[in-house]
Chains A and B, each alone.
Chain A
Amino acid sequence: MVEISNNKKLLRIALRNCGLLNPEDIFEYIALGGYESLGKAITQMTQDQVIDEIKKSGLRGRGGGGFPTGLKWELTKKQKSQEKFIICNADEGDPGAFMDRSILEGDPHSVLEAMAIGGYAIGARKGLIYIRAEYPLAIARLSTALQQAGENGLLGENIFGTDFSFDIYLKYGAGAFVCGEETALINSCEGKRGEPNYKPPYPVEEGYWGYPTCVNNVETFANIAPIITKGAQWFASLGTEKCKGTKVFALVGKIKNVGVIEVPMGTTLREIIYDIGGGIPGGRKFKAVQTGGPSGGVIGEANLDTPMDYDSLISIGSMMGSGGMIIMDETDNMVKIAKFYLEFTMDESCGRCTPCRIGTKRLYEILNKITSRKGTMADLDALKQLAYMVKDGSLCGLGQTAPNPVISTMKYFWDEYLAFIKDVDHPRGEGRYTAKNKIGIRS
């Protein structure tokens, strides 16, 4: 018998129906109480009441930024415009993350229902789902769900006999990570190159074809229906003071129980990795965990007791990101990991702004020089300086966070960098180094 956890039951909200119902049958979803939140929202609540409920629940966007969802809805509602849009961000380009795919494949209706609730609250009649083309099964299940919801009158004209009408369209991505960024995503929805725009104006002011547009993540939407049925109070009682509810994480890499988990906000990394994840396989030692994908940083042993919430993670130089967690053991070299991420961001940089386009390439080149043991101390200085330049100078979140893996590995695994450097002494032999004291790195 495989022991998964020490009997502590975790509450699943976003994943409540995954693995429980047939995603291709709308009646199973209805039988489990589906679409009742939508009915309640549009027949018994005003737009402001819906927004208020979401605001009181304390729900924050699960796409990475952690922006309060209720506030975003309110801002979009306040815009004066004859047309508005609500977009579901199902791009999930972050390698190592597949929470959104699990939700879309296991419970597509929960996202559709929530989009309709959001559409009602902000005053939109049309919703778009931007989904990456690499997820053929999720696309198929979403299409089936859309068709069934339309046939049963749960989307379309005059839903539940009210004068609220709402339709959802699918838009396909084409393999570009930067299209997860909301302004790039909107450009891509319009059929253009997925390059980000300067903000402001924010999408809530000027988005899809210039109309106010609210962009939310799949997991954010998956939390909406339970909040409406069970109430904001219930949701706000879970999690930490500033981050309410639960978060879905994808545990991958060197961990026994690879998979998707949902834990209350504020659970520590140690609990996640050892109690739920089952620890590191093969009797090896834990070294680090990367959260937030290429935009996040590595977290070492010393910070394992950090509670997982948006603010704590930022304070230790990483970020929540969308929820991918890659666990690395003692056999992984952190400099090579940093190089791997830089190769990714270099490839995915859209080329719109110079710091990101050229900076990531230069960072990658320096890292390459270091890992091929040709680097000097001067290269390390240059690497550090350039990392902060790219971070401060880039236009969108991609460039602003691209150096995070470098900065955080330099901070926590400085020895591994020094081990590659050719002009320092290696008293314990080539490729090994123990620094006497930490050489100044700004944190």
Chain B
Amino acid sequence: MKINSLDKLKKIRNEYQKNVCLRVNSTDSENSDIRIEILIGMATCGISAGAKDTFNAFQEELAKQGVNDAKVVSVGCIGYCHSEPTVQVNIRGREPVLYGNVKKEEVQEIVQKHIKGGNPIEALTLAINFERA
């Protein structure tokens, strides 16, 4: 499929918007298809700190605990190398939460308490100190 005009590009943008609107602004996205999104930083630093294990652990744990409306996405690096692997949890209607140092051992707790229970785990969270242009 070739995108051969600006209009077509805009049409595709609208079509895919619902996949990402949780990330742009999770507090008011009624039209998002996805309720929960878990973004895992998978650049070289993240991977060397074990992000791949974390990624797999999330998929297993979500299946095990019967959460089927969450999507796990591999993203680039957010720049917090001091706390890799980093994981951002976006839940519709709530502020995004960024976790640092999420090894596979931490995953079960995050799924149980935060994703199912709705209570972020304070001890692991990092402050997000930037906005995006």
Contact = CB atoms under 8 A, between A and B. Distances in A.
Interface of A: 1-5, 7-13, 15-24, 27-28, 30-33, 35-36, 39-40, 43, 101-102, 105-107, 135, 137-138, 151-154, 158, 160-161, 226, 230, 256-262, 276
Q: Which of A1, A20, A40 has the most CB of B within 10 A?
A: A20
Q: Which of B78, B86, B125 has the most CB of A within 10 A?
A: B78
A22 B72 CA distance: 10
Interface in B115-133: 122-123, 125-127, 129-133
Which 6 A-B pairs give the minimum distances between C-beta atoms? A106-B76, A19-B78, A153-B2, A260-B79, A31-B16, A39-B6
B47 interface: yes
Contacts of A11: 130-133
Nearest to A107: B76
15 contacts: A3-B127, A4-B80, A12-B132, A16-B133, A21-B76, A22-B75, A27-B19, A28-B16, A31-B17, A32-B24, A36-B13, A138-B44, A160-B4, A261-B79, A262-B79
B12 interface: yes
Contacts of A151: 1
Interface of B: 1-6, 9-10, 12-13, 16-17, 19-20, 23-24, 39, 41, 43-44, 47, 73-83, 86, 88, 100, 122-123, 125-127, 129-133
A2 B83 contact: yes
Contacts of A4: 80, 126-127, 129
A152 B20 CA distance: 20
B75 A23 contact: yes
B34 to A, nearest CB: 12
Nearest to A8: B129
Given A9-B130, A9-B131, A19 B20 contact: no
Contacts of B82: 256-259
A154 B29 CA distance: 29
Contact of B3 (A7, A20, A154, A276): A154
Nearest to B44: A137
Contacts of A5: 127, 129
Given A39-B9, A160-B3, A19 B127 contact: no
B26 to A, nearest CB: 12
A16 B23 CA distance: 12
A321 B98 CA distance: 31
Given A4-B127, A30-B9, A160-B3, A12 B75 contact: no
Contact of B6 (A17, A28, A36): A36
A20 B39 contact: yes
A44 to B, nearest CB: 8
Given A19-B77, A30-B9, A151-B1, 9 more contacts: A1-B125, A2-B126, A4-B129, A18-B77, A21-B20, A21-B75, A28-B16, A153-B4, A258-B81
Contacts of A9: 129-131
Nearest to B5: A161
Nearest to A277: B82
A251 B82 CA distance: 10
A1 B127 contact: yes
B20 A28 contact: yes
Q: Which of A15, A16, A17, A105 has the most CB of B within 10 A?
A: A105
Contacts of A152: 1-3
Nearest to A138: B44
A137 B44 CA distance: 7
Contacts of B41: 19
Contacts of B126: 1-2, 4
Contact of A161 (B1, B4, B75, B79): B4
B39 A19 contact: yes
Nearest to A106: B76
Given A102-B43, A105-B43, A20 B127 contact: no
Contacts of B47: 137
Contacts of B74: 22, 24
A43 B131 contact: no
B77 A260 contact: yes
Contacts of B83: 2
Given A101-B44, A102-B77, A257-B80, A1 B132 contact: no
A160 B6 contact: yes
Contacts of A135: 44
Contacts of A21: 20, 23, 75-76
A27 B12 contact: yes
Nearest to A225: B133
B9 A259 contact: no
B77 A106 contact: yes
A151 B41 CA distance: 26
Nearest to B73: A22
A107 B88 CA distance: 17
Contacts of A24: 74
Nearest to A135: B44
A102 B42 CA distance: 10
Contacts of B3: 35, 152-154, 160
A21 to B, nearest CB: 6
